[in-house]
Amino acid sequence: MRHFLNINKLSTKEMLLIIKQGHFLKKNYGKKFLEEKKILAMIFEKPSTRTRVAFEVGMKKLNGDVVILDQHESQLGRGESLQDTIKVLGRYVDIILYRGSDEKILYEISELSDVPIINGLTNNSHPCQIVADIMTLEEKFKDINKLKISWIGDGNNVCNSWIEAVNHYDFKLNISCPEGCFPSKKTLKESKSSHVNLFDKPSEAVKNADVVITDTWESMGIKKDKQKLKKFEKFRVDSELMLRTNKNSFFLHCLPAHRGCEVTDEVIDGKNSLVWDEAENRLYAHQSILLWCLENF
């Protein structure tokens, strides 16, 4: 069964195929349909706008349909286990997306599910986002393998999935995070170490960068910590920081953005911001993931 659990669970061939199919879907919109109607169930234990809408619209446009379960309107909110829910859903639907906290639970449900599971974000990873992000960079650069990409901010889920992508490509990834917010040693150990460099100072990490990426300082479901937040003040992506990058560098952010915190209006609304293309590409990236999981290519 083809689960889409993490970037490092895909072979490089599979990763490149999913990206290629994403571009194809964007260019030849409407030419690809599911051979027979399939239903996607989505379980959200955390909020979502892009993931939810892009998967729903994407699935409907492929000729499929969607059901959505959240904590409040299903028996999950009254304590029915996720595991039991997954077993039941497998009798009704063809594929399931799960957004939750614990990565271990994601793997657990993939073991017992009768249908493919898509990782819609956990505290540790966000692989769907990376497919859209890579598509977005490929639209701007001839060869993304030659890029220097800088990650500034919190080294958690989206950053971890970027680190996993390094194993499929040849780009360099510079990561700068406040003390205590760097990606885990385990994640770093599993990546191509020659291609990932850690920096204490954002100004050093963005030197000659082609792409700067950031994310919220306060991720969903993570306990608010004022002391920790203070440490992020020096990690704001502003025009001054962008001046240190290569001349034609671009800015990415998975969104939602907290303007004035991790990024200034000037940068996110600037001419080198790709965030709206990036959000648009979620649609095609997710259609591609659905078609791959459902073995349509």
Task: List residues with catalytic annotation.
Answer: 99, 126, 129, 215, 254, 282
Of the candidates 96, 97, 163, the one whose C-alpha atom is nearest the C-alpha of residue 125 is 163
Q: How far is the CB of 254 from ligand NVA (least distance, A)?
A: 5
* Helix spans in the chain (H): 12-27, 50-61, 82-89, 103-112, 127-140, 157-165, 185-189, 202-205, 226-231, 239-243, 265-268, 275-293
The answer to whether residue 276 forms part of the interface with ligand CP (CB under 6 A) is no
Q: Which residues contact 40 (CB under 8 A, 6 or more apart)?
A: 55, 59, 64, 65, 66, 67, 93, 94, 95, 96, 97, 290
CB 163 within 8 A of CB 173: yes
Residue 193 binds which entry of ligand NVA, ligand CP, none, CB below 5-8 Å type-dependent:
none
Number of residues that bind ligand CP (CB under 6 A): 10
- Mask for 103-142, x = binds ligand NVA (CB under 6 A): ------------------x----x----------------
* Nearest to ligand CP of 61, 195 (CB atom): 61
The answer to whether residue 50 forms part of the interface with ligand CP (CB under 6 A) is yes
Query: Which stretch in 102-110, 138-146, 159-167, 250-258 sits in contact with ligand CP by CB under 6 A?
Result: 250-258
Q: What's the number of CA atoms in the CB half-sphere (13 Å) around residue 15?
A: 25
Which residue number is nearest to ligand NVA in terms of Cβ? 219
The answer to whether residue 129 forms part of the interface with ligand CP (CB under 6 A) is yes
CB 216 within 8 A of CB 154: yes
The answer to whether residue 255 forms part of the interface with ligand CP (CB under 6 A) is yes
The answer to whether residue 219 forms part of the interface with ligand NVA (CB under 6 A) is yes
CB 117 within 8 A of CB 142: no
Q: Which of 131, 254, 257, 294 binds ligand CP (CB under 6 A)?
A: 254
In order of 29, 37, 41, 45, 291, the CA distances from 115 in angstroms are: 27, 15, 10, 19, 14
Strand order in 39-44's β-sheet? 65-70, 39-44, 95-99, 117-119
The answer to whether residue 216 forms part of the interface with ligand NVA (CB under 6 A) is yes
Q: Which of 29, 33, 37, 49 binds ligand CP (CB under 6 A)?
A: 49
The answer to whether residue 222 forms part of the interface with ligand CP (CB under 6 A) is no
The answer to whether residue 158 forms part of the interface with ligand NVA (CB under 6 A) is yes
Q: Which of 125, 156, 245, 287 binds ligand NVA (CB under 6 A)?
A: 156
Q: Which of 6, 8, 48, 136 binds ligand CP (CB under 6 A)?
A: 48
Instruction: Measure the CA–CA gap between 177 and 193, rounded to whole angstroms.
Output: 17
* Residue the block writes with tokens 């965030």: 275
Residue type present at position 46: K
Please report, as ranges, the residues that interact with ligand NVA according to CB under 6 A.
121, 126, 156-158, 215-216, 219-220, 254
Interface contacts to ligand CP, rule CB under 6 A: 48-52, 121, 129, 254-256
